[in-house]
Structure 1
Amino acid sequence: MTLISEIIRKRYSCRSYSLNPVEESILQKFRQQVNEPHRGPFGNMPRFALISMAVLPREEWKKLGTYGVIKNARLYLAGLISPAPMATCDYGYCMEKLILKATELGLNTCWLGGTFAISAFRNAAGMQRNELLPTISPIGYAAEHKSLTERFMRRFAGSDHRLPWQDLFFDGNAKTPLSSEKAGEYGEALENVRLAPSASNQQPWRIVYDDQQKTFSFYLSRTIGYRKLRDVSLQEIDMGIVMCHFELTVAELGLTGKWRQNESAPEIKPWEYITDWQAG
């Protein structure tokens, strides 16, 4: 198992945090990653900000609400992106890289899309007029015991469960499941896609493998009735997250390839084509 696979398996959505502060040496390493330029596969460049409760006046601290979902967090990662084609996919791709970096450093996180007060975080993150703030994540150490709210939410969302391979990965068409044997050396990358977090644990990604062309076509299977939040499709962010998992894994496995748009990609209704990974 690769290091990135170990990190992906270690990450989970943590909603209850210890009051122990993050050590300055670790915080400095993470802040350096946050402050670097970020660019997604489609060319969009989201930016990120670390928001510390410690530097905010008490009255501002009170405004940074997460509706009771997060307990005791004192540090948040906020991401911002300007609207553009495929911007939300790039946003998910780049933020998940930071989430995994935090996990590597021994920190806990939790993707939050619709359960935070955007007005307060907007000001703290320095949001510009042409930007969207799709998600935030607390950053810190997990509390020794989960709160009642956390236990309920994990059970309600089914956070510990993932769809099986045959519902997500396909061989040549949308009806033939892709076996792990046929996936071969890409099996670990696809398993890391399967384990990715998603809004309400809907897992809206579908991947079709073309053995002749050596391509993996990524499709979005939108959940019926799943609405946008603040002009942002959380399920498009989910696609960016799985693209991140796939790319990081194949890179660590030493498998070469690149993202590309296939103008002749098969149209599979009601799925929406996102992109191809071209091996080689």
Structure 2
Amino acid sequence: MEFSQSFRDVVHKRYSCRIYSEELMSETTRVELETFIVNLPQGPFKSPCRYQLTAMDGKTENPLHGLGTYGVIKQPSGFIIGATVDGEKNLEDFGYQMELLILKAADLGLGTCWLGGSFTRSTFSKRMAVRKDEILPAVVSIGRPDLEKTREQIDMSRKRFDPEKLFFSGNFTHPLTYSEVGDFAFPLEMVRLAPSAKNYQPWRVVKAGNNWHFYLQRTRSYREMVVPAITGIADLQRLDMGIAMSHFELAAREAGLTGRWQVEDPGIEKTGKLMEYSVSWVQ
């Protein structure tokens, strides 16, 4: 995965941008992003996902007509729309890949915002030509930010858990500190800074030997509120896990740390019924 700057810098540039400038993205930027979509790496679980950029170019009729966000987003230049088919880890792959697109957009100087529920699903699905065997889990608004923010402003606006609430050694009773893990402190910090629905940060990571085991700590009220069969909203906390995975892997690769994703439950005792094993990074 190639960026024009370090992965750390890209992560620190990204924030949830909801108000955009009237300035459209340049044709060069649009083409570069579309090329990135075409060459997007598969997700770790190889689920079939597809994405498209729908953006204004100032020349043709407004392609965003009818694509609503209930007033949450103001003046976007476009949207990245994605679809996937049903599968055991399809949402993790979707979150992983869409976050790669968001990070590339940040690298190009664009603002973005994840939208998992606050958009008119039917019109976006029609624009994407979603098939009967597909679902549309989320979309992303994109454009030039209305107000440019410094790295310091972005970092100060972030609200994230402290590392000891997210990362553990051996089991969930022993919080892990960055000083214990050497170069892996970088991937863990990039996971900590990753975006998530409602900023719930539902990932928990346990280091056991040379492996890193990722668990989904579900939020009770959020899970009860979001019932896909009724609302049509996807299981966004599984998307969040895919986002965390993308941050961990990209940081590890940049740091020269080896490993791969593997699903093999290590049998570590969970903290309760709302926790479930997801995936492991094994060396």
Q: Which runs of 4+ in 1 moved over 4 A?
A: 53-58
Provide the residue aligned with 2:35 in structure 1. 32
Matches within 5 A, 1:4-83: 4-36=7-39, 38-53=41-56, 61-83=64-86
Deviates more, 1:258-267 or 1:98-107: 258-267
Matches of 2:279 and 2:237, distance apart in 1 = 15
Paired residue type of 1:19: E
Are the structure 2 counterparts of residues 145 and 277 from structure 1 closer, same or farther at C-alpha, using a change threshold of 3 Å?
closer
Deviations 1:221-241 (A, max 9, x none): 000021244252000000000
- Give 1:183 shift: 1.8
Matches of 1:215 and 1:105, distance apart in 2 = 34
Matches within 5 A, 1:239-250: 239-250=241-252
Deviations 1:98-154 (A, max 9, x none): 1101111111100011110011111111211111111111111000389xxxxxxx9
Structure 1 residue corresponding to 2:259, chosen from 251, 257, 261: 257
Paired residue type of 1:246: F
Matches of 1:75 and 1:228, distance apart in 2 = 28
Indicate whether 1:236 and 2:238 are aligned. yes
Are the structure 2 counterparts of residues 131 and 262 from structure 1 closer, same or farther at C-alpha, using a change threshold of 3 Å?
same
Provide the residue aligned with 1:149 in structure 2. none
Local SS of the residue matching 2:53 = strand
- Give 1:53 shift: 4.3
Paired residue type of 1:274: S
Provide the residue aligned with 1:199 in structure 2. 197
Kept in 1, the 8 Å contact 2:91–2:242? The answer is yes
Structure 2 residue corresponding to 1:135, chosen from 132, 135, 138: 138
Matches within 5 A, 1:183-194: 183-194=181-192
Matches within 5 A, 1:58-137: 61-137=64-140
Paired residue type of 1:194: R
Matches of 1:228 and 1:216, distance apart in 2 = 30
Provide the residue aligned with 1:214 in structure 2. 210
Structure 2 residue corresponding to 1:161, chosen from 141, 159, 162: 159
Are the structure 2 counterparts of residues 38 and 131 from structure 1 closer, same or farther at C-alpha, using a change threshold of 3 Å?
farther
Are the structure 2 counterparts of residues 228 and 237 from structure 1 closer, same or farther at C-alpha, using a change threshold of 3 Å?
farther
Kept in 1, the 8 Å contact 2:117–2:233? The answer is no
Paired residue type of 1:174: F
Deviates more, 1:42-51 or 1:83-92: 42-51
Are the structure 2 counterparts of residues 145 and 196 from structure 1 closer, same or farther at C-alpha, using a change threshold of 3 Å?
closer
TM-score norm. by structure 2 comes to: 0.88
- Give 1:264 shift: 3.6
Structure 1 residue runs of 5 or longer lacking an equivalent are: 147-153
Structure 2 residue runs of 5 or longer lacking an equivalent are: none
Are the structure 2 counterparts of residues 145 and 34 from structure 1 closer, same or farther at C-alpha, using a change threshold of 3 Å?
closer
Kept in 2, the 8 Å contact 1:267–1:273? The answer is no
Are the structure 2 counterparts of residues 56 and 127 from structure 1 closer, same or farther at C-alpha, using a change threshold of 3 Å?
farther
Deviations 1:133-188 (A, max 9, x none): 11111111000389xxxxxxx9xxx9620000111000111011001111211001
- Give 1:266 shift: 1.9
Provide the residue aligned with 1:275 in structure 2. 279
Kept in 1, the 8 Å contact 2:34–2:53? The answer is yes
Local SS of the residue matching 1:187 = helix
Paired residue type of 2:213: S
